[in-house]
Structure 1
C-alpha cells in the first residue's frame, strides 16, 4: 500500500538537495534526489548539478561530492524542465523543507519558472506524531525507526530515507490520523520547522516588539533578532512567508526556536523598546542600532577675533542635549572627519581652516591650487565670508537642542514616554511608575534614541513633568 493522502491527487515527491553551502539566491545546488510515489508505483531519480562556485573542502568531506564530480554536470537551468515535471502537482515532502524548497524555488526563478507546490516538512510531521521526543533530525529518525541509510548526505539516499519514514509511520498510526496531521501542517506552511504553532496562538496584531530566540546550550535562549511593528502578528508571519526570497529570512527561520513579544502603546514605544533591547541583547541577526561608545560631533564656536573654529567633541565629554552649537552625529572620529572633508569639497571650503590639514599662515592651500578653495587661507576670501559659508554647509547637520528646563513626557495612548535632554528614561502608565522613572539616573546619550525622540516630539503631545496627572485610563 502506497499510503497517498486523498488530497495529494498528483502523488508524493520526497525531495532532498545538496549544496556547496552557498545561499539560495546563488546557484549553489550540487545534487537533487527525488523519490516519486503515485498510483503507478515508486520511481527514483537524481542528478548532480554544477554550481556557480567551488565546493568548499568541509562540504566535500560531508557529502562526498567534490569539484571533479560536478565539473561536467549540467547546470540547474539545463535540467529545470525535468525537475519541474517531477515535482509539479505533487506534495513536496522534505526534511527541514524550507531549506530544500527555498533553494529550488530560487533556482526555478532564475531559470524563468515558477513552482508553488504544497510543502510538507517531515521535521514538523515527526514532531506532531512523536511529541515525546525532543530531537527530530534525520539521524535521530534513522536510529529511532530503524531506517536503512545507504549514504547519508547524498540527495537520493536521503530522499529515500524520507520515503522509508513515511512507510514506518503508516505502520504506527491509522492513515486518517496521519492525513489529518498533514492537512493541518500544510495549512500552516509559513512556520519554521522548529517552531510550534502554539507559540503564535496569542500573538496580537498590535504595536510592539518581537524577539526571536535560537538554541543555546540545549535551551531556546540565544537572541537572534529583535524587530518592531505596529501589527506584531502580521510582521512575524511575514518573516517566514518570505524566506524563499531572502537568504537572511531563510537563515533566521532555520534557527528560531522561540518567539516572545512585548506590546507597546504605539509606534514610538515600539521603536524605543526595539532600540533598548537590541543594545541590551545584541542579537546575532540585527545589524543596526548597535551600542557605540565613540559617538562624536562637531562643535562650532568663534574665537576672540571672530574667526570660526570647529572642535570634535565626544559624547562622554559633553552633554549633547544641552548645547546649541553641535553639528552631526558620528560613530567615530574617522566618520566625522570624512564627512567634514566631503562638506569642504562640496562647498569650496578651506581644509586647513577647518583643521583638516596643516598649513603655513598666509600660504595658499593645496585645494586652492586645484580651484577647490576660494582663498580664505591667503586672504582671497574674508574669514567672515568663509565662516558664513561654513555655517550654511553645516546647517543640515545641526543637532536639535533641548528646549525644556527639565524632563518631559511624550503621551502615546495611555503611556507617557519620559525624556530628558534627548535621553529616554522610561515609560509610565501610572503615577507610581512615573515616580520610579523620574528617580532613575539619565542614561548616556544615544544616537539612535535621539533620532527617534526628535521625530516623536513632532508627532506626540508634549507634557512638562513638573505636575503631571496620570495618563487617561491608566491603572493607579
Structure 2
C-alpha cells in the first residue's frame, strides 16, 4: 500500500517554515482506495509570494486545525505504507520536522516519483510535476494545491506501475526504496563502487560542471551520509536533485585532501560551496622590531606586495584576532597596537601585562611569548615538509613549506634515506599559499602526531645546509 503525499508550506525551510495544507491519496498498487486532505493553520502569516503561488490565504487557514490536531490522522493514514511524493525529501522533511516539534519520531519508507520517472520514463526535458504531467497528458487541476498535486502524482504513479511486469516492478520499487536517499540521477551501483579511502570528491550537474567539492577520510561513507541527511530547504533539495555524476581523487593523506579541497573550491568556485570561495582578505597581522629590541604585533590593511603573517577578512576580525593573542599568550596591549596611550597599558595596571610597555620586562622574555604566539598561527620563515600516507603501499605524500609559505604537495616512493629539500621540490606540484591553507596546516600540525615533520636550514643562497 502506498500513501501519496503532497503538502503546501509557508516557505522552503522545514526547520523554520510550517505546513499550510496536506493531502494524502492511498493507492493499493492497482487503484486509489482512499484520500484525506486538510488545510492547516501554520500559526504564522503566509508570505504574499506564497499566497500568489498556492492561492492559500491567511483567511483560509484562520479557522483550520493546527498541525497537532491532524497529526494522529496523518500517522494512522500513512502507517504501514510507503510514503510516495514528487521530490519526496521535501514533503517528508517537513512532516518529520512538524512531528519532531511534537516530540514524535515520524519514520516511513519513502519512494520518489521523480527518481522512478527518470528511470522508467527517460528523455523528457523536465521532470517537474507540472511539465511531466503535461508531457504525459495527465490532467493536473488546482496546481500548487495539496490535493491537486497529490491526485496528479497518484495518476503519474499509476502510469509508472503499468509500465513494468508485476514481479519486475516489485523488485524495482524495492531497489528504489533502498536507494531512496540517493539523488534522482545517481545509481546505487555508482555509490557502491566508491572507494573507502581518504580523498576529495566532486558532484557534477547534467552539463558536467562541478557544483560541489568535499573531502573525507572515507569517500564512500561521507557521500552516503550526504545523501541520507534530511534536506532542510528547497535550495538543498535543488542541490541534491542537480547531482548527476560523482568523481573523486584518492589522496591517501588527510592533510593533502584538506589542501586539495581548499584549492579546488577557490579554483572552480562550485555553486554549492561557500566557505572558501573568497581568494583573499582585507587585513593582515604583521610584526616589527622596535629600537629597544621588542617585537610588536599589529594589524593593517593589506597592500600589494605585503606578506602578512596571517590574513583576515576585515578590520573587526583582525582586531579581535590580536585581542585573543594578547589574552592567550599574556602579551602587552600597547605592544600589539591595541592601547595607544603614553605610559603603561591598561593591562599592566591590572597585573595582566608584565610591563614590556614600560621596560619592566626584558625584550628577550617578552619576545619569546610573541614568537610562541606567531608560531601558533603562522610558519614564520620556517622551511619544513610533512611526510604522510600515500595512495598505495610504499608511497608517501609530502607537503612542502619554504620561507613560511606553502609550496604544494606531491608523492614519492618510500626510501631508506631522508629526502633532501631539492628532491622534495622535484616531487611536488605547486599550489598557492593563502590564509585558508595556512590555517589548515597549522591546525593539522597541532592535532596530528602520526605524520613525520622534517625541518631544513637554508643559507642566504637558499640552498640546503643541514637537516
Aligned to 2:417: none
**Separation in 1 of the partners of 2:401 and 2:252?**
20
Summarize deviations over 1:312-364 as a string: whole Å, max 9, x none.
Answer: 375964556xxxxx5x65344432222324555788876455433543x45x8
Deviation at 1:153, TM superposition (A): 0.8
Task: Pick the aligned partner of 2:434 from 446, 451, 471.
Answer: 446
Q: Does 1:17 align with 2:7?
A: yes
Aligned to 1:401: 380
**Separation in 1 of the partners of 2:286 and 2:106?**
58
**Separation in 1 of the partners of 2:160 and 2:44?**
39
Change (3 A) 1:41 1:185: closer
Alignment of 1:53-452 (within 5 A): 53-214=44-205, 219-221=207-209, 223-243=210-230, 250=237, 252-294=239-281, 297-312=284-299, 314=302, 317=305, 330-341=312-323, 351-352=333-334, 354-359=336-341, 361-362=342-343, 367=346, 382-385=358-361, 388=365, 392=369, 395-398=372-375, 399-404=378-383, 408=385, 410-413=387-390, 414-421=395-402, 422-429=405-412, 438=426, 443-452=431-440
**Separation in 2 of the partners of 1:199 and 1:93?**
24
Summarize deviations over 1:415-441 as a string: whole Å, max 9, x none.
Answer: 43341324142324579xx98974989
Aligned to 2:26: 36
Deviation at 1:412, TM superposition (A): 2.4
Worse-matched range after superposition: 133-142 or 249-258: 249-258
**Separation in 1 of the partners of 2:349 and 2:9?**
54
What TM-score comes out, normalization by structure 2 length? 0.79
- Does structure 1 retain, via aligned residues, the 8 Å contact 2:287–2:295? yes
Change (3 A) 1:205 1:58: same
Summarize deviations over 1:343-390 as a string: whole Å, max 9, x none.
Answer: 55788876455433543x45x87x48996887969xxx7324286568
- Does structure 2 retain, via aligned residues, the 8 Å contact 1:106–1:244? no
Deviation at 1:244, TM superposition (A): 5.2
**Cα RMSD (Å):** 3.8
Deviation at 1:171, TM superposition (A): 4.5
**Separation in 1 of the partners of 2:243 and 2:386?**
36
Change (3 A) 1:339 1:46: same
**Separation in 2 of the partners of 1:155 and 1:118?**
21
SS in 2 for 1:225: strand
Deviation at 1:163, TM superposition (A): 1.7
Summarize deviations over 1:282-301 as a string: whole Å, max 9, x none.
Answer: 22333433334237554444
How many residues align structurally?
Answer: 436
Summarize deviations over 1:186-207 as a string: whole Å, max 9, x none.
Answer: 1222212243435435311121
Change (3 A) 1:133 1:201: farther
**Separation in 2 of the partners of 1:277 and 1:430?**
25
**Separation in 2 of the partners of 1:418 and 1:18?**
52
Aligned to 1:469: none
- Does structure 2 retain, via aligned residues, the 8 Å contact 1:49–1:70? yes
**Separation in 1 of the partners of 2:156 and 2:54?**
21
Deviation at 1:86, TM superposition (A): 0.7
**Separation in 1 of the partners of 2:304 and 2:275?**
21
**Separation in 2 of the partners of 1:312 and 1:139?**
56
- Does structure 1 retain, via aligned residues, the 8 Å contact 2:297–2:335? no
What TM-score comes out, normalization by structure 1 length? 0.78
Give the unaligned 5+ runs of structure 1.
Answer: 1-10, 321-325, 467-476
Change (3 A) 1:437 1:61: farther
**Separation in 2 of the partners of 1:113 and 1:315?**
56
- Does structure 2 retain, via aligned residues, the 8 Å contact 1:95–1:122? yes
**Separation in 2 of the partners of 1:300 and 1:224?**
40
Worse-matched range after superposition: 106-115 or 417-426: 417-426
Change (3 A) 1:459 1:333: farther
- Does structure 2 retain, via aligned residues, the 8 Å contact 1:105–1:244? no
- Does structure 2 retain, via aligned residues, the 8 Å contact 1:344–1:350? yes
Deviation at 1:31, TM superposition (A): 0.9
Change (3 A) 1:81 1:166: same
